[in-house]
């Protein structure tokens, strides 16, 4: 897409990425894509704010060239050093020989480590203002949103906040870049939540700190480095991020995420009985086959709902590995304070229920009594499963 003016003298020059399969090398975005939003602020001095992935260097450079010769740049602001925003740094270093790289103190050694850049690097402090002429750039440290060196940049005369990862989302931009033009907001909110839980959620405390810190600024536009730019209702995405970050210390709303796996169908038969029980209680239910669903898509449901049901057979005295791997990532992301229960089949040994407790030992999860059965479930087992699911779901409705 061509450059788009956000405010007079401030341009979006981002690029869509629809060819990278895995964000951060692990989170699937084949269907959704992602955008790397970069911005140009043109005044007496000219500043570039955040860059793009090195894999998108060619289209990104064209975006810059459509507006200016990079040799005219005075500043290159790197809010955050992760290579999805800095991959083009070495290229810009050579094409913009008059530009200073503006980074935080913790960003400076990262710029050297990732790109070998040590010259023309200027450390900016928390709250520092750099004048561009009529416009200015003010920097605010927001450590761990998403890395320790991260800052955001604010342009005070227009109220544009360049927030980098904060308030971003997956999803290549579909023609429009603004919230008031976007054709499918449900898709975008869903992908923002998936991005939040995959990438940022472990740092929810710093997210809340950043929102509090930036709360006093008159913000007219939230311009993150991924996804939509919020100009009609800039506080909408801030409020969503606040809600999602708050869930790090709360159990979530009534609802069940049922994560299951089945080797020969016996646990799957039981899973359907348990699901019927949950349905009888009228509680929302999302079912994921862990062997066939990337955990990226499971995490958002676990994050926002209070209940987790794990259905899996015992496999070599342990939890069925695809389910164990999903649960392991849930533990890695520190999804805390859930109510949980295990059900599943065992053959010659139990062990799955024990491993559920081990994997989630540091998460403060309340585990209810497991439902285990030997081999294939009998009709009586299935009735027990239905009652098990209903009782579990009803317990989520209790205060």
The correct pick among 45, 85, 194, 338 for binding ligand FEO (CB under 6 A) is: 85
Q: Please, what is the minimum distance in Å from the beta carbon of residue 44 to ligand FEO?
A: 30
Q: Which residues contact 18 (CB under 8 A, 6 or more apart)?
A: 33, 172
For the purposes of burial, counting CB atoms within 10 Å of the CB of 155, is it exposed (0-12), middle (13-18) or buried (19 or more)?
A: buried
Residue 80 found at the interface with ligand FEO (CB under 6 A): yes
Instruction: Evaluate whether 6 touches 232 at the Cβ level (below 8 Å).
Output: no
The phi, psi pair for 351, rounded to 5°, reads: 155, -20
Instruction: Evaluate whether 170 touches 226 at the Cβ level (below 8 Å).
Output: yes
Q: Please, what is the minimum distance in Å from the beta carbon of residue 220 to ligand FEO?
A: 23
In the bound state, the residue with its beta carbon closest to ligand FEO is 82
The correct pick among 17, 165, 191, 381 for binding ligand FEO (CB under 6 A) is: 165
Q: Please, what is the minimum distance in Å from the beta carbon of residue 81 to ligand FEO?
A: 9
Residue 386 found at the interface with ligand FEO (CB under 6 A): no
For the purposes of burial, counting CB atoms within 10 Å of the CB of 319, is it exposed (0-12), middle (13-18) or buried (19 or more)?
A: buried
Residue from 305, 308, 278 nearest 290 by CA? 308
Tokens of 330: 């849930």
Q: Please, what is the minimum distance in Å from the beta carbon of residue 206 to ligand FEO?
A: 12
Q: Please, what is the minimum distance in Å from the beta carbon of residue 76 to ligand FEO?
A: 17
Residue 84 found at the interface with ligand FEO (CB under 6 A): yes
Residue 82 found at the interface with ligand FEO (CB under 6 A): yes
Residue 108 found at the interface with ligand FEO (CB under 6 A): no
Instruction: Evaluate whether 250 touches 337 at the Cβ level (below 8 Å).
Output: yes
153/163 Cα distance (integer angstroms)? 7
Binding residues for ligand FEO restricted to 197-226, rule: CB under 6 A: 225-226
H or E stretch at 259 = strand 253-260
Q: Please, what is the minimum distance in Å from the beta carbon of residue 328 to ligand FEO?
A: 22
Residue 146 found at the interface with ligand FEO (CB under 6 A): yes
Name which of 43 and 82 has its Cβ closer to ligand FEO. 82
Q: Which residues contact 322 (CB under 8 A, 6 or more apart)?
A: 261, 290, 291
Residue 149 found at the interface with ligand FEO (CB under 6 A): no
Q: Please, what is the minimum distance in Å from the beta carbon of residue 106 to ligand FEO?
A: 14
Instruction: Evaluate whether 278 touches 247 at the Cβ level (below 8 Å).
Output: no
Name which of 165 and 179 has its Cβ closer to ligand FEO. 165
Name which of 199 and 312 has its Cβ closer to ligand FEO. 199
Give the interface with ligand FEO as residue ranges (CB under 6 A).
Answer: 80, 82, 84-85, 146, 165, 225-226
């Amino acid at each position: 897409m061509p450059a788009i003016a956000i405010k007079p003298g401030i341009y979006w020059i981002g690029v869509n990425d629809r060819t990278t399969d895995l964000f951060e090398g692990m989170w699937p975005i084949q269907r959704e894509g992602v955008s790397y939003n970069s911005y140009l602020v043109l005044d007496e001095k000219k500043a570039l704010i955040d860059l793009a992935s090195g894999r998108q260097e060619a289209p990104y450079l064209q975006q810059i060239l459509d507006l200016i010769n990079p040799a005219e740049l005075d500043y290159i602001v790197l809010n955050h050093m992760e290579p999805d925003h800095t991959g083009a740094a070495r290229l810009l270093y050579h094409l913009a020989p008059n530009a200073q790289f503006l980074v935080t103190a913790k960003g400076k050694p990262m710029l050297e480590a990732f790109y070998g850049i040590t010259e023309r690097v200027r450390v900016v402090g928390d709250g520092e203002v750099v004048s561009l002429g009529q416009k200015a750039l003010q920097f605010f440290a927001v450590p761990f949103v998403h890395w320790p060196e991260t800052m955001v940049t604010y342009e005070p005369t227009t109220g544009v906040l360049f927030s980098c990862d904060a308030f971003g989302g997956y999803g290549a931009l579909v023609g429009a870049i603004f919230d008031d033009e976007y054709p499918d907001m449900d898709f975008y909110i869903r992908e923002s939540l998936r991005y939040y839980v995959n990438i940022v959620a472990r740092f929810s405390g710093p997210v809340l700190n950043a929102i509090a810190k930036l709360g006093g600024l008159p913000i007219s536009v939230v311009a993150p480095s991924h996804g939509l730019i919020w100009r009609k209702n800039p506080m909408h995405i801030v409020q969503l991020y606040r809600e999602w970050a708050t869930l790090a210390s709360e159990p979530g709303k009534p609802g069940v995420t049922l994560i299951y796996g089945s080797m020969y169908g016996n646990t799957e038969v039981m899973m359907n009985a348990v699901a019927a029980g949950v349905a009888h209680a009228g509680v929302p239910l999302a079912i994921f086959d862990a062997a066939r669903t990337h955990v990226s898509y499971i995490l958002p449901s676990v994050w926002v709902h209070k209940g987790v049901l794990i259905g899996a057979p015992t496999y070599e005295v342990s939890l069925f590995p695809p389910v164990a791997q999903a649960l392991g990532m849930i533990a890695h992301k520190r999804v805390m304070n859930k109510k949980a229960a295990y059900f599943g089949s065992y053959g010659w040994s139990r062990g799955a229920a024990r491993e559920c407790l081990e994997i989630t030992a540091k998460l403060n999860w309340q585990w209810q009594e497991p439902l285990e059965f030997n081999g294939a479930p009998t009709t009586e087992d299935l009735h027990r499963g239905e009652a098990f699911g209903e009782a579990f779901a009803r317990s989520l409705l209790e205060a």
